[in-house]
Structure 1
Amino acid sequence: MRKRSITLKGHRTSIALEAEFWDALDAFAEADKRTLPALINSIDRDRLKRSPPPGLASAIRVYVLKRLQAGE
């Protein structure tokens, strides 16, 4: 597990994910031509639309899985 701190909605938060998920997120952010915090903020906004919302780390893992399944 690797922890990184980012700012979401003006507040610092730490996210713990396996290195492979961080690597995939970094690659997706680069492919999308946006920053990693911008990508994570987008994932966070989408997860908050669900009821009940999943945890952020879980939402990130599902996001990575879906993108990989889509062949990205």
Structure 2
Amino acid sequence: MKKRSVLIAGHPTSVSLEEEFWEALKAIAQTRGTSVNALIEEIDTTRTGNLSSAIRVFVLNAVQGRA
């Protein structure tokens, strides 16, 4: 698991995710024509738990065709 720094609404924060989730998140962002930071900001606006978990759920839903 690797910790990475991201900007959310202009504020730096760190997120720890397994490499497979980071790669999937980058692929989703590229498919959507957006940056990883912008995609994480979008996920952040709808999350109810911690950010790392919300990203994992988002990636899972995207892979299953629900995002």
Task: Report the TM-score, using the length of structure 2 for normalisation.
Answer: 0.93
Task: Name the Cα RMSD after superposition.
Answer: 1.5
Counterpart mapping for 1:1-72 below 5 A: 1-47=1-47, 53-70=48-65
Rounded Cα–Cα distance in structure 2 between residues aligned with 1:26 and 1:10: 20
Alignment CA distance shift 1:70-1:7 (3 Å): same
Q: SS of 1:34's equivalent?
A: coil
Rounded Cα–Cα distance in structure 1 between residues aligned with 2:54 and 2:10: 20
Q: SS of 1:12's equivalent?
A: strand
Alignment CA distance shift 1:11-1:71 (3 Å): closer
In the alignment, structure 1 segments of 5+ residues that lack a partner are: 48-52
Task: Report the TM-score, using the length of structure 1 for normalisation.
Answer: 0.87
Larger radius of gyration between Structure 1 and Structure 2: 1
Percent identity for Structure 1 against Structure 2: 48
In the alignment, structure 2 segments of 5+ residues that lack a partner are: none
Rounded Cα–Cα distance in structure 2 between residues aligned with 1:71 and 1:60: 14
Task: Give the aligned length.
Answer: 67
